[in-house]
A and B are shown apart, each in its own frame.
Chain A
Amino acid sequence: METIQRSESGMPAPVGARGLVPRMPRLWGRSRHQAYKREDVVMGYLFVLFPFVIFLTFSIAGMLFDFWVSFHSWNVIDTPVSVGSANYNYIFRQDPVFWTAVENTVQYSVIVVFFQTIIAFTLALIVNQNIRGRTFFRTTFYFPSVTSSVAISLLFLYLFNNLGLINYVLSDVGITGPNWLGDPAFALKSIMGLNIWTTTGTLMVIFLAALQDVPRDTLEAAAIDGATGAQAVWRVVVPQIRPAIFFVVATGIIGTLQVFDQAFIMSQGSGGPENSTMTAVLYIYNMAFANGYYGVAAAASFTLFVVIFAATLLIRWLLREG
Chain B
Amino acid sequence: MAYQVGVHRVVGRWEVTRRTVFYVILVGYSIITAIPFLWALSTSFKTEAEASRFIPTGLPVHPTLSAWNGPNGVFSADFPHYFFNSAVVAVIVTVGNLLFDSLAGYAFARMRFPGRNVLFFMVLGTMMVPVAMTLVPVFVILTKLGWINTYQGLTVPFMVSAFGIFLMRQFFQSIPIEIEEAARIDGLSRFGMYWRLALPLSRPALATLAVLTFQGSWDSFMMPSFIASSNSMATLPVGLQRFSFQYLTLWPQVMAGSMVVIIPILIIYIFAQRFFVEGMSSGAVKG
Contacts and interface: CB of A to CB of B under 8 A. Distances in A.
Contacts of A23: 173
B208 interface: no
A76 B113 contact: no
Interface residues on B, range: 35 or more
B26 A41 contact: no
A18 B174 contact: yes
A142 B156 CA distance: 29
Contacts of A305: 129-130, 132-133
A149 interface: yes
B48 to A, nearest CB: 12
Given A26-B117, A54-B156, A230-B2, A66 B134 contact: yes
Contacts of B237: 148-151
Contacts of B122: 52, 55, 60
A248 B86 CA distance: 30
A265 interface: yes
Interface string B22-43: 1101100110111011011001
B177 interface: yes
Given A26-B117, A76-B140, A151-B262, A268 B135 contact: no
Interface string A86-126: 00000000000000000000000000000000000011001
Nearest to B53: A163
Contacts of A228: 1-3
A12 B179 CA distance: 12
Interface stretch (B65-73, B199-207, B274-282): B274-282
B100 A148 contact: no
Given A45-B113, A126-B26, A163 B52 contact: yes
A156 B110 CA distance: 48
A229 B1 contact: yes
Interface of A: 9-10, 12, 18-19, 22-23, 25-28, 30, 34, 36-37, 39-41, 43-45, 47-48, 50-52, 54-55, 57-63, 65-66, 69, 76, 122-123, 126-127, 129, 131, 133, 137-144, 146-152, 154-159, 163, 165, 167-168, 197, 201-202, 205-206, 208-210, 213, 223-224, 228-230, 233, 243-244, 247-248, 254, 257-258, 260-261, 264-265, 268-269, 280-281, 284-285, 288-289, 294, 297-298, 301-302, 304-305, 308-309, 312
Across the A-B interface, the 6 shortest Cβ-Cβ residue pairs:
A229-B1, A62-B137, A44-B113, A47-B107, A209-B281, A151-B258
26 contacts: A19-B174, A25-B117, A27-B117, A44-B107, A44-B111, A44-B116, A48-B108, A51-B100, A60-B122, A66-B136, A122-B25, A131-B22, A140-B30, A140-B34, A142-B273, A158-B40, A197-B32, A205-B277, A205-B281, A206-B281, A247-B285, A248-B284, A257-B130, A284-B135, A289-B226, A305-B130
